[in-house]
Structure 1
Amino acid sequence: MATLTPYSSQAPSRAEVDALPGATVMEFGTNWCGFCQGAQASIAKAFEPHAGIRHLKVEDGPGRPLGRSFKVKLWPTLIFLRDGAEVARVVRPANAAEIAECLRICARR
């Protein structure tokens, strides 16, 4: 499956991410990555009941400081944030259920 929404080459700064209010999911990967493309159906399914959660897809790779600041090593990596602080992480998600559980943690108030 192709990536429905492409990864953005324009990344916010780490300070901007840390200042984001509420629930946010940072998804790191690349548009050409087979693992990233393969995970898109599970990611989309998990997000269906959580449409209000901010989801930022950021292109990662050498020279990309945002991914390095989160110590991203494999793609896709989803970082679940609440008010700028990491509350959960999924690396190369195997299914929608594992993503959905992290979304529930992220969405808690």
Structure 2
Amino acid sequence: MSLLPYVEAAPSREEVDALSGPTLIEFGTNWCGHCKAAQPLLEQVISGFPGVRHIRVEDGSGRRLGRSYGVKLWPTMIFLTDGQEVDRLVRPTENGQIAEVFDKWLGQEKKGL
């Protein structure tokens, strides 16, 4: 499974806030070296969590969704449960960092069920 490119058409903040269940919003760009380096790491971890909605949003100056989350560096991964941010990860460099956040996030998710 290969991750799809970042897309320009982002949902509105209201749409994101209304999402149910676990959602990962990943902000970056298709040309960003840090984003490209993180893709195999994220792909390896996320493949083990098929119930997670993954939204890849192209970010940049004037992009409202990224600004609403205060995104400054790419990639920035925002972990949401029922539209609420529960964690974030900025520029991960190893899959252990990503896996740790996933385990913590989805462990909390299971406790809340």
The TM tier, using the shorter chain, reads over 0.9
Equivalent position SS for 1:36: helix
CA RMSD of aligned residues (A): 1.2
- TM-score between the two structures when normalised by the length of structure 1: 0.93
Q: How many residues align?
A: 107
Task: Give the aligned partner of residue 82 of structure 2.
Answer: 83
Task: Give the aligned partner of residue 9 of structure 1.
Answer: 8
Equivalent position SS for 2:48: helix
Q: In the alignment, does 2:50 pair up with 1:51? A: yes
TM-fit CA distance, 1:106: 2.8
Q: Percent identity?
A: 54
Q: In the alignment, does 2:99 pair up with 1:100? A: yes
Structure 2: any 5+ residue segments left out of the alignment? none
TM-fit CA distance, 1:103: 1.6
Amino acid in structure 2 at the alignment position of 1:105: K
The 5 Å alignment of 1:10-89 reads 10-89=9-88
C-alpha distance in 2 between matches for 1:105 and 1:83: 16
Structure 1: any 5+ residue segments left out of the alignment? none
C-alpha distance in 1 between matches for 2:94 and 2:101: 12
Deviations 1:43-70 (A, max 9, x none): 0011121122000000000110000000
C-alpha distance in 2 between matches for 1:55 and 1:106: 14
C-alpha distance in 1 between matches for 2:24 and 2:38: 15
C-alpha distance in 2 between matches for 1:105 and 1:19: 22
